[in-house]
Amino acid sequence: MAEQEEPPTPRSLSLLSFQTALCIVPPRHLWKDIDRLRSLYDQAYGRWPPHINLIYPFVPTDRLPDVSRLIQEKLNSLSQSSEYQNITIQSGPAGYFRNRGGNTIHLTVIDRAADQLRHLRASILDALGHHGQEERDYCPHLTIGQTKADVDLRDFLLDKTNMLPAAQWDLDHLVVLHREKGFGGSSASKMVIWDAIDLSGNNMSTSDELTRLYSGMSLHGLNAEIDESKSSTEQMTTYEYSPGGRSWCPITEPPLEPVKVRSNNFTVSTYNVLAEFTSSPPRDRYEALVHNILSSNALADVLVLQEVCDNFLLFLLSHQDIQRRYPFVTHGPPGQGGSPPLPSLRNIVVFSQWRFTWAWLPFDERHKGAAVVKIDGIGDLQSSLPLVIVAVHLTSGLNDAAVDSKLSQVTSIIHLLDSDYHSNPSVVAGDFNFVTSQEVIDEALRLKMISPAGLEKILGFDCLLSKAHFMDGWVVAGEGPEDAGINGRTGEGEQGATFDPILNPLAAQYSVNGRPQRYDRIFVRQTGKTSVTGFNFFGLRHALKGEDMQISEFASDHWGIRAGVQIGESLTESKSSESVSQEAPLQLASLPDPLSSLDEIVSSLEHSSMLPGEEDFKTRKTAVDTLSQILTEPIHDSSGRDIKTPLVLIPVGSYGLGTWGPRSDVDCLCIGAISSTTFFALAIQRLRKASALGIRIVRKVKAATGVMLELQSGHIKLDLQYCPAANVAERWQEISRIPSHDPIFDLSLHSLSKLQPYRDQEYIKRMVPDMYVFRLAYRCIVQRAKSSGVYSSKFGLLGGIHITMMLSQLHQLVHEKFGRVTVPELVSMFFHYYAHFDWKNNMVVSPGVQTRYRRSLREPMVILTVHVPTINVARAVTAPSLRTIVSAFNRAEELMGEDGARWSNILNDISISHNNQTGAEKFLTAYNSYIKVNVQYWGPSPTQASSLIGWLESRFFRLLNDLDRQALGIHGRIWPARFTSIDTTDSENDGETEYQGCYLVGLERMSDAVSTVANKEEALRILQTAISQFTASLHEEDKYFDSTVCWIDATLVKQAELGELKLDLRNWGGQAGVDQMVSDFSEDDDEADDPDELLEEGQLSDRSKLHSKHATLSSKPVSANKLRPAGDVISRLRWDPKIDFGDYLVGYEDRFLGVKEMPLSRWKSEQTDEEFIPQHRIVYFKRKSDGRRVWDRETRKDEIFGSGAGGCD
């Protein structure tokens, strides 16, 4: 065996090979920002990774194994020195070298690290036999690019390089690069990793760490897989403005909730802002540009800008109105907060009102590409595919090469959309640089600037896009009226010009031929029923009207354009309105720093127990999931086979919207194909059978809206309602995306009413700009309403549905006018807006939704639902309670204006200037006189105590209405809670059966009332009469009032006579009152009032019959002892020719006045009618001629059909 050949000594090593290099390569995660500049300015990009050369040129390729061993030995000996153990590379300011024909721009290394690298390099050279080389000759640097020998170009790239985020990493290894020729099958060469050596002298060839550090890079000779595949687009970072941090931050985390398509209407604007060609561009046009961008005819959902430079982007992003209107952007502020500079001199920047993701599609020409923006919240509602907007600025010029470049770029865009976004709604917007003036094209052909083949390509641009199903927004919309005035001065292809040297002197400066061109375009892809709904110009467009303007007044050499687009059909049905309500003026006032803090609001809400915790979320989700599991279990027939009956359970109300609090109930809606009677029978059976799962039935309630089950799971209360709608149940996941006029909504009025909360809820979630802001603002307003005594719908004040509809309307209006607002701003605007709202003449209607609703004189406040049947959710609000609500809003404004005001004071109605009094405490001292309604209970039944309170509170409408109607000039304001003596303990005792408390109505004379002695005496007499009548009416209702166990009286008292009172926090009857309700529940309750009880199950599951509004419904056989419904009696009396319809009266229960009568001829059955009264309130039918009751619900008497108690005779 031959002796092993000795390795050559270091003296024989040559350092003249340009095929190898010893260098430092930063970790892969630091490459992105550096390579964005290198890809445009560094000739070595793509052939070299970002690097700092230690030794280059290096040794010949065949010497690499030996040299690698020598370097390992040297580093191993140096590893004992602390100088080489902690080397941190940190980039310093930009610098440059002069070279032949230009400059090399680079990042320097901070001094300490540079000195360490010099020593390290000298030690390695010493190991390779090169002793005593001057260390000062070595300047470690990372090359960014090269420029020509031009000072402006040099300074331009230096500025860009200085804006790069500082790169810093701990140096723990060196990299040996080797030039590999013919890389990727081409003749080009590329430097690839041959070896890596850590600073302790170990070889890293087999290290997983090396693969991780340089993932995707060729690791030649390291047995690593070569992954050079590259997508056609590069995923980029989106930036969002953070109001709390007052900065633009990169979005690094996905949204907390999956973003669904919620809007199919959007607007997109595009504007070329004209980049300056100096390293320090003048800023004199910036204000004019911002003015144009924020003008009313420019504002859009998405704004595409071209020719944006770093300085202008910094100016834009620092503008408060831009931060509000467009909180999402493709690029952060260059050089600030870790944001890299814009890569080029002329850049595409996209702003948006909605969160988006985006990618960069590079073109073959350097500095050219397209921003591909995907907005998940906008798109096709039917397919749920999001909108894709491609922002472009194509190559300029009129020659064959420029034409070929444009053609290639357009083809690349179409190919990308066809391959990756084939079915998505798509828009291509920007500066296309298509020459449109026929005069200019003819002249270019005559001068042979373009060839006949080039001419065909120019004329084929629009055809190319048309074949890809893109329509030109301006062409589809037609010429606007503002274009008509210039048609006489323009030639063929010059109409609708966005670059007009004739009218724009800035354009004239940069124009070669002086003719108008329609460079800027918005192309919309025709998918489904996509349509362009509007098109307009902006940007000092009034110059077209002949006004004399100086060149300094022109912001850009281009006009901007905006297009409105709708994808598919509108979800809401727009109906003509008989009277259009004028909106109250919107004002966005600046808040002092203490009131601008979101942390202060969150802290206050947490202190008031308005924010649910993790355990609250978990227990409610478990309860809803359990209830769904119980109710949606398959139904089996007699043979045990599954009956395919669609049945879904959907959370609605505050839980569905996400605005609930720890003490909120959970409202659930079941949708299915069976009748209500069958569903509730089935639900009761299943819930009883599954009682071990922790959900129990509290009681069954028959309200105006139909039957409802009250359930309880631990401490959580659940309300369960049902909607019979087979087709809706089958397609419920897409129901929120189906237009209102779709046949699927051809349902009975009852089913539409049941379905309405869910449809309105989904509409609000879709249309509200920011649900996080909305939910926090909602909780703030609810807390404020509770503490100020205006939150109780049963007293005719505000409830959750009122605040939801009012806030959603305002949030949409504010976003449309001002853009994004913070929680403090939205809350403060809510109080101001509705304190000054014209309630007498205006209605609260969701923006864009029109209605035929005609308010009556008995409706001082109108807040309408979105979907049919249109209902005023504030129909219980009276004139006195409206004055109380508006007064509470005004007080909130006053509290916000106090010096040192904090959200904790405002939301809890505590005035700093009034000894920190709460709202209830202030109420006790705010009036000179009160009506004090005392209530006592000493009976043995907890249920009776609870029922007594519920009944009494429902009767205060009578008193307040009588005061408003009879005692003119006097305003009565009730505090919607019970008071008790200050000595009473607050703890609830289930064994307690004696209670005492009172309700207070504060009295004040209104400012416009005439005050005389006679008037005062008359007012006092009227007050005493009203109080006596109210007390007497209560005593007459012996169903609830039993003088042997309770007492109620009302008196007029002075403030000093109130005594020391506090809010009564006890639940009269305690938990025993609730528990006893369970025993009162009966499965055999009369269900004759169920609106759909006569529908057979087969009919509900029959799609065709369900869709028909006029389907004839067959009746179930009526049992002999079951009372026929009131609706059947009305039909019989109205249509039987043998019966005198005018001889009958209807006895019904009025909510305020007890049982009343009206002629049957006046009875209204249409729910949208002003005088509509639900049929479940009908007590009896009576003949006028003899006074005989022919149908009586209480005695179950029926002389019309012979059903009920008389049915067995």
What CATH code is carried by the domain that includes residue 379? 3.60.10.10
User: Which structure tokens are listed for 823?
Assistant: 């929680």
Average pLDDT of span 52-72: 92
Q: CA nearest 827: which of 778, 783, 863?
A: 778
Given a cut of 90, whether residue 1123 has pLDDT beyond it is: no
Does 489 map to a domain?
yes
Q: Which of 174-178, 655-659, 845-849 has the lowest mean pLDDT?
A: 845-849
CB–CB of 474/535 below 8 Å? yes
pLDDT of amino acid 713:
94
Q: Which of 76-90, 588-602, 645-659, 1000-1014 has the lowest mean pLDDT?
A: 1000-1014
Average pLDDT of span 47-51: 94
Residues 713 and 745 in one domain: yes
Does 856 map to a domain?
yes
Residues 284 and 337 in one domain: yes
**C-alpha dist (Å) from residue 41 to 49, 345, 635:** 14, 12, 70
Question: Which one-letter amino acid corresponds to residue 353?
Answer: Q
Does 183 map to a domain?
yes
Residues 191 and 255 in one domain: no
Q: Is 84 or 295 the better-scoring residue by pLDDT?
A: 295
pLDDT of amino acid 1195:
85
Average pLDDT of span 883-903: 90
Residues 761 and 673 in one domain: yes
- The residue segments making up the domain with residue 848 are 593-905
pLDDT of amino acid 1074:
43
Residues 889 and 952 in one domain: no
**Residues 29, 49: Cα–Cα separation, whole Å:** 12
Does 1095 map to a domain?
no
Task: Work out the pLDDT band at 221, boundaries 50, 70, 90.
Answer: very low
User: Is the dihedral angle over the CA atoms 954, 957, 960, 966 positive or is it negative?
Assistant: negative
SS3 assignment, position 548 = coil
CB–CB of 1160/1141 below 8 Å? yes
Q: Which of 114-123, 757-766, 983-992 has the lowest mean pLDDT?
A: 983-992
Residues 527 and 630 in one domain: no
Average pLDDT of span 521-547: 78
| HSE (side-chain half, CA atoms, 13 Å) at 431 | 27
**C-alpha dist (Å) from residue 610 to 602, 828, 910, 1130, 1170:** 9, 18, 17, 48, 37
Block residue for tokens 């509770």: 786
pLDDT of amino acid 542:
56
Q: What is the largest CA-CA distance in the chain?
A: 136
Does 919 map to a domain?
no
Q: Which of 364-368, 461-465, 608-612, 1107-1111 has the lowest mean pLDDT?
A: 1107-1111
pLDDT of amino acid 1208:
43
Q: Which of 968-982, 1028-1042, 1110-1124 has the lowest mean pLDDT?
A: 1110-1124
Q: How confident is the model over 798-827, as pLDDT tens digits?
A: 999 999 999 999 999 998 888 888 999 999
Q: Rounded to the nearest 5 degrees, what angle is found at the Cα of 1042, between the Cα atoms of 1039 and 1048?
A: 110
Own/partner pairs for 1083-1086, CB < 8 Å, 24+ apart? 1083/681, 1083/684, 1085/700, 1085/702, 1086/1122, 1086/1123
Average pLDDT of span 859-886: 91
Q: How confident is the model over 916-946, as pLDDT tens digits?
A: 677 788 899 889 999 999 999 988 887 788 8
Q: With 0-12 CB in 10 A as exposed, 13-18 as middle and 19+ as buried, what is 483?
A: middle
Q: Which of 7-16, 603-612, 723-732, 939-948 has the lowest mean pLDDT?
A: 7-16
- Name every residue whose Cβ is closer than 8 Å to that of residue 114 and which is 6 or more positions away in sequence: 108, 139, 140
First to last CA, the chain: 126
Given a cut of 60, whether residue 1091 has pLDDT beyond it is: no
Q: CA nearest 1037: which of 1111, 947, 1105?
A: 947
**Residues 1122, 1089: Cα–Cα separation, whole Å:** 12
pLDDT of amino acid 641:
67
pLDDT of amino acid 209:
61
Q: CA nearest 358: which of 366, 349, 367?
A: 349
CATH number of the domain that residue 973 is part of = 3.30.70.590
Q: Which of 8-12, 146-150, 409-413 has the lowest mean pLDDT?
A: 8-12
Q: Is 209 or 863 the better-scoring residue by pLDDT?
A: 863
Q: How confident is the model over 125-183, as pLDDT tens digits?
A: 988 888 766 666 789 999 999 999 988 899 999 999 999 999 999 998 899 999 988 65
Does 910 map to a domain?
no
pLDDT-above-70 percentage for the chain: 83
Task: Work out the pLDDT band at 1109, boundaries 50, 70, 90.
Answer: very low
Given a cut of 60, whether residue 368 has pLDDT beyond it is: yes
Does 277 map to a domain?
yes
- The residue among 1080, 1102, 1128 that closes a domain is 1080
Q: With 0-12 CB in 10 A as exposed, 13-18 as middle and 19+ as buried, what is 57?
A: middle
CB–CB of 87/170 below 8 Å? yes
Does 327 map to a domain?
yes
Residues 436 and 296 in one domain: yes
pLDDT of amino acid 1073:
43
Q: How confident is the model over 960-990, as pLDDT tens digits?
A: 888 888 888 888 999 999 999 988 887 665 5
Average pLDDT of span 197-203: 78
pLDDT of amino acid 1000:
96
CATH number of the domain that residue 631 is part of = 1.10.1410.10
Query: For strand 168-171 and strand 173-181, is the pairing parallel, antiparallel, or unpaired?
Result: unpaired
pLDDT of amino acid 823:
93
Q: How confident is the model over 497-507, as pLDDT tens digits?
A: 999 999 898 89
Residues 696 and 740 in one domain: yes
Cβ atoms within 10 Å, residue 533: 14
pLDDT of amino acid 748:
86
SS3 assignment, position 263 = strand
Q: Which of 1-10, 48-57, 570-579, 582-591 has the highest mean pLDDT?
A: 48-57
Average pLDDT of span 349-354: 95
The number of folded domains in the chain is 5
pLDDT of amino acid 1168:
62
Q: Which of 631-645, 1012-1026, 1041-1055, 1066-1080 has the lowest mean pLDDT?
A: 1066-1080
Beta bridge partners of residue 937, listed in sequence order: 995, 1046
Residues 303 and 381 in one domain: yes
Task: Work out the pLDDT band at 660, boundaries 50, 70, 90.
Answer: very high
Average pLDDT of the chain?
84
Q: How confident is the model over 699-739, as pLDDT tens digits?
A: 888 766 778 999 999 999 999 999 999 999 988 888 877 88
pLDDT of amino acid 280:
62
Residue 186: left if φ>0, alpha if ψ -120 to 50, beta else—which one? beta
SS3 assignment, position 525 = strand
Q: Is 490 or 831 the better-scoring residue by pLDDT?
A: 831
Task: Work out the pLDDT band at 954, boundaries 50, 70, 90.
Answer: confident
Average pLDDT of span 887-916: 83
- The residue among 1080, 1109, 1143 that closes a domain is 1080
Residues 1005 and 1035 in one domain: yes
pLDDT of amino acid 208:
62
Given a cut of 70, whether residue 428 has pLDDT beyond it is: yes
Given a cut of 80, whether residue 764 has pLDDT beyond it is: yes
CATH number of the domain that residue 185 is part of = 3.90.1140.10
This prediction has a pTM of 0.74
- The residue among 877, 905, 933 that closes a domain is 905
Residues 395 and 476 in one domain: yes
Residues 322 and 418 in one domain: yes
Q: How confident is the model over 82-110, as pLDDT tens digits?
A: 666 688 999 999 999 998 889 999 999 99
**Residues 387, 592: Cα–Cα separation, whole Å:** 39
pLDDT of amino acid 992:
60
User: How many helices, marked H, and strands, marked E, lie in the chain?
Assistant: 33, 41
Q: Is 122 or 992 the better-scoring residue by pLDDT?
A: 122
pLDDT-above-90 percentage for the chain: 48
